Amino acid sequence: MASLRASTVLRKRTQASNPFFLDASPIKRSRSSVEEEEEEEEEWEGGDFGDVCCEECGSGGRGSELLLCDKCDRGFHLFCLRPILAAVPKGSWFCPSCSKSRSVAKFPLIQTKIIDFFRIQRSSGATHKSAVCQKRRRRISSLAVSKKKRKLLHFNPSEDPKRRLEQMASLATALIATGAQFSNELTYMPGMAPRSVNRAALEREGMQVMTKEDMETLNLCKKMMEGGECPPLMVVFDPKEGFTVEADRFIRDLTIITEYVGDVDYLKNRENDDGDSMMTLLSTADPSECLVICPDKRSNIARFINGINNHTPEGRKKQNVKCVRFNVNGESRVLLIASRDIRKGERLYYDYNAYENEYPTEHFV
């Protein structure tokens, strides 16, 4: 098992913003858990590794975030590693020197392979263009109303088919590197939470009901993806941040970027899970009924959109995406939506702690 100085309480769960309660107070940790950590820290100082220092920064401080290599016993702060680790790895962990470094293998830019990987359904015409024509005709008679009420927008895929293949290949590369399959829907697997328990009415603080028009926009985004018209996004690997997502063309404010998807499970089953990308799907009054989305096995591009550093003004300025839960036909769904206009080449970031302070972001770039 990977060794760690003391017992870290790095939480890995992200919760989408509740539109009605954006100023919700952070969840406070219990006194007992803090006392237990202090006792474990004291026990550590008297152990065999009390003099270990980080190989990168040379400091032995912040012992609760100092990770030991299972082969050479050298120490590394989670935040000194590149890319930064948000949580302690499950099972054995080896430092960069002891592990066999391997470069990320790029997914082949072959149309048939990309079609098979994403299970693209061939269509006779472009879904996006036909849908835009219909929406324009519909908006002529309701222009005055649309000015008063802000509506969600569908993404505009890149017009060049070759560029869309490159975008999808970049996502396939990231998914394969992280051991995940592509999925663009919430999945309900045997042994986990059944679909019947995903009832938005159980949300303890209420949930915004998606309008009929916004629902049509969401369905259009899904249909475009099924036909190979993907969001104009590129997944790029960064040595410091790991996999990141960049806009490959201009994206307007309020555009649906993607839905956050993965396996749906009860939070109680995942409290000690190693995954660092879990998203709260349903927060109920009864803790045993709370649901989370786990994208470790099945996911889409949402998994690779990074979080801001909540602790610095510079970090907060990076945010250009918001994460919002909606009641869609009685079920909770999580959407990532552009919170402002996004320039081509700009990286996408959202606030992992918009609703709960559950994710350690103080060392994010």
In a domain, residue 57? The reply is: no
Higher pLDDT, 314 or 230: 230
- How many of the other CB atoms lie within 10 Å of CB of 45? 13
How much of the chain, in percent, has pLDDT values that exceed 90? 52
* Residues whose CB is less than 8 angstroms from the CB of residue 291 and which lie 6 or more positions away in sequence, other chains included: 193, 197, 198, 264, 265, 266, 267, 280, 281, 282, 332
Q: Which of 30-44, 77-91, 100-114 has maximum average pLDDT?
A: 100-114
363 within some domain: no
Domain of 280 in residue numbering reads as 111-350
Domain total in the chain: 1
- Quick check: is 167 in a domain? yes
Provide the CB-side half-sphere exposure for 292 (13 A, CA): 22
Whether residue 215 lies inside any domain: the answer is yes
pLDDT reported for residue 337: 98
* Distance, CA of 172 to CA of 179 (rounded, Å): 10
Residue 34 has pLDDT above 50, yes or no: no
Give the CATH number, domain containing residue 130: 2.170.270.10
Q: How confident is the model at residue 127 (pLDDT cuts 50, 70, 90)?
A: low
Whether residue 333 lies inside any domain: the answer is yes
Summarize the confidence of residues 278-288 as an average pLDDT: 95
Local confidence band at 80 (pLDDT 50, 70, 90 cut-offs): confident
For residues 260 and 185, the answer to whether their CB atoms sit within 8 Å is no
Residues whose CB falls within 8 Å of the CB of residue 48, separated by 6 or more in sequence, listed in order: none
Coil, strand or helix: which one is 289?
helix
Q: Mean pLDDT of all residues in the chain? A: 81
Instruction: List 291's β-bridge partners, or say none.
Output: 266, 282
Give the position of tokens 């609760």.
Answer: 64
Average the pLDDT over 263-282 and give the result. Answer: 88
Residue 306 is assigned to a structural domain of this protein: yes
**241: number of Cβ within 10 Å:** 18
d(CA 157, CA 142): 25
The answer to whether residue 243 sits within a structural domain is: yes
Of 52-61, 169-178, 231-240, 293-302, give the lowest mean pLDDT range. 52-61
| pLDDT above 50: residue 130 | yes
* Structural domain contains residue 97: no
Specify whether the CB–CB gap between 297 and 270 falls below 8 A. Answer: no
Q: What is the mean pLDDT of residues 250-275?
A: 93
What pLDDT is attached to residue 143? 45
